[in-house]
Amino acid sequence: MQMEKKILFFSLLLLFYAALNAQKSGNPVFTGWYADPEATVFGDKYWIYPTFSAPYNQQVFMDAFSSPDLVNWTKHSHIIDTVQVKWAKKAMWAPAIVEKDGKYYLFFAANDIQNNGNHGGIGIGIAERPQGPFRDYLGKPLIDQFHNGAQPIDQFVFKDIDKQYYMFYGGWKHCNVSKLNSDFTGFIPFDDGTIFKEITPEGYVEGSVMFIRNGKYYFMWSEGGWTGPDYRVAYAIADSPLGPFERIGIVLQQDGRIANGAGHNSVINVPGTDEWYMVYHRRPLTEKDGNSRMTCIDKMEFDPDGKILPVVMTNEGVDVRPLDKAGSFSGRMNTSQKYIQLFNGENLDGWYTFLKGKGKNSDPDKVFTVKNGNILISGEEFGCITTDEEFENYKLTVEFKWGERTFAPRADRARDSGILLHSVGEDGASGGTWMHSIESQIIEGGTGDIIIVGDGTDNFSATTNVKPGVLEGAYFYDPEGEVKTFVRGRIDWHSRDPQWEDKKGFRGADDVEKPLGQWNRIECYATGSNLLIYLNGKLVNRIYNVKPQKGKIQIQSEGAEIFIRKVDLQRL
């Protein structure tokens, strides 16, 4: 009898999960005419903030919708309206929302201004909860003028990995980007002094969206007329949030069997996974009114080269995708912390030292110290600091600058250090100093080189596209070059000076590294078998088919004084 009860229990449990997995969201995902959906994740819920799709004079409020699983949605009515925002009179459109320091900031457009003599533009609401209620943050529009021909509508707020917030916006076939200041009350000028930089890609009309995947910036927008059948979504990929954005193609468009007018999208990435969804509006085939738009969700997938595959519109929608309390996919998420400060600014907790001839955690001469919030590596002895943990699938950001001092045997040679990635095996296995690893080189004139610090076998190897250098055995990274696999040796960054000399202070004609004493930023994107190296925002080197794909991280002491103020890791 006891066994029969257990069998019955597990049979019911299996039926429950089968029913759960069979459950679909359906499209639209909730009832009512709603357009321009902004989708995001806060805590253990998905959120959608759409435009109420109606004649302009009826668009005087916004609703929001939340779901624990993409299937079951709860409506939160009138989270903001023209009662709270006195200057807004009509046409409250296309919300964008971010959470910062425990507050929720809802960006929106209002009044559909047609020239600089009209009052309206892009405003901000603020609340303590994602469901509001939101009150007027500034008491006036943040942007109330046309700049570079862009109507101030359809804003999208994007937080870059360095925590800088950018706002992309614009109608009337013009798109601007601006840098928001820390409290969202204004803007930070770009280096050339401008506030609004035009980045309009080919075909752009409105509805900008940005996200990062595998170290690349994906920029999406809508084309065509929003009331017509040619409304669609296109995209570009760039190495920077500032572009340039060259149109790749269309990823969403009408389907005569399903719906038309498909566009003005956003995206959801289930945190900690590579699962993506497109959230968008479309018009049923039975409807002729331009405002008859409904919010839908379908899967968004990528090919092996990172290109977005055409999104297939469905009536079924998507499967159940629960979230846990951390905003990650239940049962399938790496629950480790996503953003990690590997250097805490105070000490070397989480690291151990290793010096040639002295071994682990024996540093009597203080080669590795923390001074004024920076790691100071004197360079006086060869060695490294090593993380206690191994990592895989991450973006590593290291900010460094050279000091003045150098030491034998490199006293008169190029200042030298390096970041050793995927470090595995025994400490000191390579030259009695480092682990076998893949090195992102830091050296004057050659920062961005990649070195296979291996054992001569394909256990430590990588493939890339190269062109031969001037010296025998030298190779430069070249995206259009021949394919070559390395088990030892160096792949020079793409514009390394061919006349490079190993002497202190060397600088090449096309160096990306900043002058002595200035801070530099290295970003290493290790995703699966790929490794991309960025120096000061520019892609300088890339390898693929990398072995191994995970390991510890080491930072070298190699004869030159170096200061490090940031070592941050973001799990991808």
Number of domains in the chain: 2
**pLDDT of 37:** 98
**pLDDT of 228:** 83
Any domain includes 195: yes
- Which of the residue ranges 42-56, 145-159, 532-546 would you say has the lowest mean pLDDT? 532-546
12/468: higher pLDDT? 468
Any domain includes 457: yes
Mean pLDDT of 108-134: 97
Per-residue confidence band for 337, with pLDDT thresholds at 50, 70 and 90:
low
Any domain includes 154: yes
Mean pLDDT of 531-558: 93
Is 90 exceeded by the pLDDT of residue 333? no
Closest CA to 325 of 21, 41, 23, 17: 41
Domain shared by 144 and 77, yes or no? yes
- Dist. CA 471–CA 48, nearest whole Å: 57
Instruction: Kindly report the pTM of this predicted structure.
Output: 0.58
Closest CA to 398 of 553, 509, 209: 553
Is 80 exceeded by the pLDDT of residue 102? yes
Domain shared by 241 and 361, yes or no? no
Cis amide leading into 28 (omega within 30): yes
- Percentage of the chain modeled with pLDDT above 70: 93
206 is a catalytic site residue: yes
Is 50 exceeded by the pLDDT of residue 84? yes
**pLDDT of 331:** 29
> Which position among 36, 63, 69, 112 bears the catalytic label?
36
**pLDDT of 305:** 87
Element (DSSP H or E) covering residue 18:
helix 2-22
Is 70 exceeded by the pLDDT of residue 5? no
| CATH number (domain holding residue 174) | 2.115.10.20
Domain boundary among 250, 275, 300: 300
Per-residue confidence band for 273, with pLDDT thresholds at 50, 70 and 90:
confident
Domain shared by 160 and 77, yes or no? yes
Domain shared by 294 and 346, yes or no? no
Per-residue model confidence as pLDDT tens digits over 196-247: 999 999 999 999 999 999 889 999 999 999 988 889 999 999 999 999 999 9
Domain shared by 111 and 212, yes or no? yes
- Mean pLDDT for the chain? 91
Spell out the residues 6+ positions from residue 60 whose beta carbon is closer than 8 angstroms to its own. 81, 82, 88, 89, 90, 92
**CB-count burial class (<10 Å; 0-12, 13-18, 19+) for 296:** buried
Any domain includes 9: no
Per-residue model confidence as pLDDT tens digits over 387-431: 999 999 999 999 999 999 999 999 999 999 999 999 999 999 999
Any domain includes 391: yes
- Percentage of the chain modeled with pLDDT above 90: 81
User: Which residue shows structure tokens 């960006």?
Assistant: 107
Spell out the residues 6+ positions from residue 360 whose beta carbon is closer than 8 angstroms to its own. 352, 353, 354, 427
Mean pLDDT of 182-194: 95
Task: Work out the angle at residue 239's Cα, subtended by the Cα atoms of residues 237 and 240, and round it to the nearest 5 degrees.
Answer: 105
388 is a catalytic site residue: no
Any domain includes 320: no
Per-residue confidence band for 146, with pLDDT thresholds at 50, 70 and 90:
very high
Domain shared by 292 and 377, yes or no? no
Domain boundary among 244, 270, 300: 300
**pLDDT of 48:** 98
Is 80 exceeded by the pLDDT of residue 274? yes
**pLDDT of 15:** 36
Per-residue confidence band for 17, with pLDDT thresholds at 50, 70 and 90:
very low
Domain shared by 126 and 182, yes or no? yes
- Dist. CA 344–CA 372, nearest whole Å: 12
Any domain includes 99: yes
CB 472, CB 565: distance < 8 Å? no
- DSSP bridge partners of 477: 466
Any domain includes 94: yes
Domain boundary among 300, 327, 353: 300
Domain shared by 218 and 294, yes or no? yes
Domain shared by 414 and 467, yes or no? yes
Is 60 exceeded by the pLDDT of residue 2? no
**pLDDT of 324:** 53
- Dist. CA 169–CA 176, nearest whole Å: 6
Which domain covers residue 363, as residue numbers?
339-571
Is 70 exceeded by the pLDDT of residue 433? yes
Domain shared by 554 and 477, yes or no? yes
**pLDDT of 11:** 37
Per-residue model confidence as pLDDT tens digits over 454-476: 999 999 999 998 998 877 778 99
| CATH number (domain holding residue 525) | 2.60.120.560
Domain shared by 160 and 109, yes or no? yes
Domain shared by 546 and 417, yes or no? yes
> Which position among 63, 69, 206, 380 bears the catalytic label?
206
